């Protein structure tokens, strides 16, 4: 077992035992997030995907981060779908989406604001990653992430904020400003989820 995974397991075990207090977040994109570290521009989370993630998300699944991303699959299979975009000028046809800026507040509310930028988008081939594999994304790259197959999955996500970049999403051409909320789970739900993650990581290591 490598050092990164060892550190992650120690942190998860502290949460499971109650030694460390942490509440999972229900993300508008449909997954459960365990925010393990927030330190200046750097962040580390565990994202949990299950069959419930297939429900309609509260936010557009096509988005671009203001931070560089490195995502390691802890177990299961995750599909990352790149989305290529081409700006469409005023009066030109062929636009499929409007670009929105996502402004996240400390209260868990995301303000999703339309910009003047229209684009033509085209999904690229999906990149499917399994347990132990890692994929990366540069800040500003549009993509969508989804569970691949019927089995649950989890990823260990490292992010590093890039100055001057904004969080973006693709929405309807006539989209209006809107809000989404990142809801907190209670302690019991969080600990139950962490125990499940630990069991599945252990099973992955023994496989």
- The per-residue pLDDT string of the chain (207 residues; one tens digit each, 9 = 90 and over) reads 689 999 999 999 999 999 999 999 999 888 999 999 999 899 999 999 987 544 456 677 999 999 999 999 999 999 999 999 999 977 778 999 999 999 998 888 999 999 999 999 999 899 999 999 999 999 999 999 999 989 999 999 999 999 999 999 999 999 899 999 899 999 999 999 999 999 999 988 766
Q: Cβ(64)–Cβ(29) under 8 Å? A: no
Strand partners, 193: none
Q: Is 0.85 surpassed by the pTM of this model?
A: yes
Residues 6+ apart with CB under 8 A from 114: 98, 99, 100, 171, 175, 176, 177
Q: How far apart are CA 28 and CA 112, in angstroms?
A: 12
Q: What is d(CA 94, CA 83) in angstroms, rounded to the nearest whole number?
A: 16
Helix 3-17 × helix 187-206 angle, to 10°: 140
**Residue 144, both tokens:** 């969508």
């Amino acid at each position: 077992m490598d050092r990164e995974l060892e550190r992650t397991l120690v942190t998860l075990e502290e949460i499971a035992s109650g030694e460390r207090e942490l509440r999972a977040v229900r993300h508008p994109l449909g997954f459960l997030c365990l925010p393990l570290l927030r330190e200046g521009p750097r962040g580390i989370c565990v994202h949990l995907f299950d069959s419930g993630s297939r429900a309609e998300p509260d936010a557009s699944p096509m988005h671009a981060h203001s931070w560089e991303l490195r995502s390691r699959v802890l177990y299961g299979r995750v599909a990352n779908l790149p989305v290529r975009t081409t700006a469409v000028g005023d009066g030109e046809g062929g636009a499929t989406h409007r670009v929105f800026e996502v402004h996240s507040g400390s209260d868990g509310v995301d303000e999703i604001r339309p910009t003047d930028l229209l684009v033509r988008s085209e999904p690229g081939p999906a990149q499917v990653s399994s347990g132990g594999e890692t994929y990366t994304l540069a800040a500003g790259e549009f993509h969508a992430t989804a569970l691949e197959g019927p089995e649950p999955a989890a990823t260990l996500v490292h992010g590093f904020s890039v100055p001057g970049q904004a969080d973006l999403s693709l929405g309807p051409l006539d989209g209006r400003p809107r809000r989404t909320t990142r809801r907190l789970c209670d302690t019991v739900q969080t600990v139950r989820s962490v125990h499940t993650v630990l069991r599945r990581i252990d099973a992955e290591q023994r496989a």
